[in-house]
Amino acid sequence: MPLTPLLKHLTIFNTDFLFVPLFIFVVTAEENKKVISTIGSTAELSCIYTPEKKFILNKLRVFWQIADGSKPCSVVHTFNSGHENQSEQCADFRNRTRLFQDKLENGIFSLLLLNVSLRDEHTYRCIVQKKDVVFRVIHNADVALKVAANNSLPVLSGPIRIHPNIGEEVTLSCNYSQGYPKPNIYWINRTDNSTLHPSSLKIIQDNDGTYSVFSTLKIEANSDIKVECIIENELLQQNLTILYSENVTNSNSTRSNLLDLNEPGAQAGGVLAIAIVLAGLAVLTCWLWKRKFSRRRSYAGN
Ligand SMILES: *C1O[C@H](CO)[C@@H](O)[C@H](O)[C@H]1NC(C)=O
Ligand SMILES: *[C@@H]1O[C@H](CO)[C@@H](O)[C@H](O)[C@H]1NC(C)=O
Ligand SMILES: *[C@@H]1O[C@H](CO)[C@@H](O)[C@H](O)[C@H]1NC(C)=O
Ligand SMILES: *[C@@H]1O[C@H](CO)[C@@H](O)[C@H](O)[C@H]1NC(C)=O
Ligand SMILES: *[C@@H]1O[C@H](CO)[C@@H](O)[C@H](O)[C@H]1NC(C)=O
Ligand SMILES: *[C@@H]1O[C@H](CO)[C@@H](O)[C@H](O)[C@H]1NC(C)=O
Ligand SMILES: *[C@@H]1O[C@H](CO)[C@@H](O)[C@H](O)[C@H]1NC(C)=O
Ligand SMILES: *[C@@H]1O[C@H](CO)[C@@H](O)[C@H](O)[C@H]1NC(C)=O
Ligand SMILES: *[C@@H]1O[C@H](CO)[C@@H](O)[C@H](O)[C@H]1NC(C)=O
Ligand SMILES: *[C@@H]1O[C@H](CO)[C@@H](O)[C@H](O)[C@H]1NC(C)=O
């Protein structure tokens, strides 16, 4: 019984009929590329069409446009018959776009977009025309630009250079700013790699579109603390981690004794105490002597 559907599948898969849509799928996957770029960096939007022979530049047009269609202005970069013509370029892209001038004739029409910002998240379309008698489209490609932000590192804080007492409640806080897209946060106990649940977690989107994270973790210091805060950027497949590590004091009495012995005041106090004891002993000895003598004297006097 279970064999029948499986066999059916295999038969269908082997027919040439199914091979056609599969082939089409491969082509679309190649032409619709995704590029991930971080804020402030330069993105390369790829558009490559390798010709049989070199292109003649004054018979070539390259248009880079925003393909979304939602924006009022869609012109990103224009190369027309041997010259760049940015008269129609959207103000957003002014001075931020470059073609590989010396590679155009080899069919490399890729665009460099400088100083990427969150507003640049679009699907871009490259349209290449070649003139034989009239200009005709010979190639087009779409590139989806995804923008990520990771310009800062998480900041983790807790009690600094104060060893918490055993059993004491300790609060750690982990902040992160200006991430994009919305980050994930994890607290990990590095002693056994278990996940800890934050006591508070606030993720807010700032005016510039980036996200900030504020999280706290309350733990009971039952043993030495080794806790990590992880900020995950799923788009970049990147984890930013920061570790908090602090040893706890085994018992409060041991701690205070150790501390006291190391303090100069305590040493002076110790010396004073010994002096007082010695003085007391001296006084006692004197008194005993005196008593002995006076007894003798009175005996002698009798
Ligand atoms: C710390 O000292 C207090 C009183 O001195 C005592 O009640 C408490 O049990 C001590 N804690 C530990 C962990 O030794
Ligand atoms: C640039 O293109 C505009 C129209 O899009 C045209 O009016 C202008 O003459 C062109 N400039 C050059 C230098 O070709
Ligand atoms: C573009 O660059 C030119 C020269 O480098 C400069 O004069 C112009 O102000 C710049 N435009 C913008 C919008 O930054
Ligand atoms: C990059 O773009 C931002 C705005 O998105 C601007 O504030 C900054 O000055 C630009 N940096 C450079 C080097 O042009
Ligand atoms: C952000 O990501 C880029 C690319 O993955 C990496 O080169 C850079 O070091 C990262 N920045 C920070 C602050 O981690
Ligand atoms: C995190 O942000 C909160 C609220 O702004 C602040 O009280 C705390 O000190 C910050 N922690 C760190 C480690 O910067
Ligand atoms: C971390 O794991 C160790 C070992 O399982 C455990 O003893 C300790 O209490 C844990 N720390 C926290 C803060 O949960
Ligand atoms: C915890 O995970 C790290 C890598 O993420 C590994 O190096 C370490 O040995 C692990 N520790 C334990 C106690 O499983
Ligand atoms: C980041 O860390 C989390 C928690 O340990 C893990 O689930 C995730 O797979 C990590 N992501 C990457 C890209 O390493
Ligand atoms: C905690 O104690 C271990 C040895 O017991 C030492 O190696 C480590 O440096 C200490 N860590 C801190 C933060 O004091």
Q: Among 117-126, 165-174, 186-195, 231-240, which stretch is predicted with the lowest mean pLDDT?
A: 165-174
33 Cβ contact partners less than 8 Å away, ≥ 6 residues apart: 46, 141, 142, 143, 144
Looking at the structure, tell me whether residues 101 and 9 fall in a common domain.
Answer: yes
Q: Residue of the nearest CA to atom 9 in ligand 3?
A: 95
Reference 147, options 209, 64, 71; nearest CA is 209
Q: Where are the beta strands (DSSP E) in the chain?
A: 32-38, 43-45, 60-66, 75-80, 83-84, 97-99, 111-113, 123-131, 135-150, 155-157, 169-180, 184-189, 194-196, 200-205, 211-220, 225-233, 238-246
With respect to residue 142, please indicate whether it lies within any of the assigned structural domains: yes
Looking at the structure, tell me whether residues 184 and 199 fall in a common domain.
Answer: yes
Reference 125, options 64, 37, 50; nearest CA is 64
Q: Among 22-31, 59-68, 150-159, which stretch is predicted with the lowest mean pLDDT?
A: 22-31
With respect to residue 284, please indicate whether it lies within any of the assigned structural domains: no
Looking at the structure, tell me whether residues 14 and 144 fall in a common domain.
Answer: yes
Looking at the structure, tell me whether residues 87 and 183 fall in a common domain.
Answer: no
Which CATH number covers residue 195? 2.60.40.10
Q: What is the DSSP letter of 90?
A: -
pLDDT at residue 297 in the model: 53
- Average of pLDDT values for 3-20? 35
- Average of pLDDT values for 142-160? 93
pLDDT tens readout for residues 271-302: 455 566 667 777 767 577 777 656 555 454 44
Looking at the structure, tell me whether residues 107 and 163 fall in a common domain.
Answer: no
Looking at the structure, tell me whether residues 9 and 135 fall in a common domain.
Answer: yes
- CA-to-CA distance for 213 and 153, rounded, in angstroms? 11
Residue 257 CA from chain centroid, whole number: 43
Q: Provide residues with CB under 6 Å of ligand 2.
A: 83, 85, 87-88
Q: Provide residues with CB under 6 Å of ligand 6.
A: 155-157, 173, 175, 214
Q: Is the shortest distance between the CB of 95 and ligand 3 below 6 Å?
A: yes
More confident residue, 291 or 103: 103
Looking at the structure, tell me whether residues 126 and 184 fall in a common domain.
Answer: no
For residue 65, what are the domain limits?
3-148
Q: Is the shortest distance between the CB of 150 and ligand 5 below 6 Å?
A: yes
Model's pTM, two decimal places? Answer: 0.72
pLDDT tens readout for residues 167-226: 889 999 999 999 999 999 999 999 999 999 999 999 999 999 999 999 999 999 988 999
The answer to whether the CB of 126 falls within 8 A of the CB of 109 is: yes
Q: Residue of the nearest CA to atom 10 in ligand 5?
A: 150
pLDDT at residue 262 in the model: 41
Looking at the structure, tell me whether residues 141 and 195 fall in a common domain.
Answer: no
- Average of pLDDT values for 264-272? 47
With respect to residue 279, please indicate whether it lies within any of the assigned structural domains: no
Sheet holding 97-99, edge to edge: 43-45, 111-113, 97-99
Q: What is the DSSP letter of 48?
A: B
Contacts 24+ apart (CB under 8 A), 263-270: none
Q: Which two tokens stand for residue 142?
A: 């779409």
Looking at the structure, tell me whether residues 126 and 222 fall in a common domain.
Answer: no
With respect to residue 287, please indicate whether it lies within any of the assigned structural domains: no
With respect to residue 84, please indicate whether it lies within any of the assigned structural domains: yes
More confident residue, 122 or 1: 122
**pLDDT at 8 > cutoff 50:** no
Last residue of a domain, one of 126, 148, 170: 148
> Among residues of the chain, what percentage have pLDDT more than 70?
74
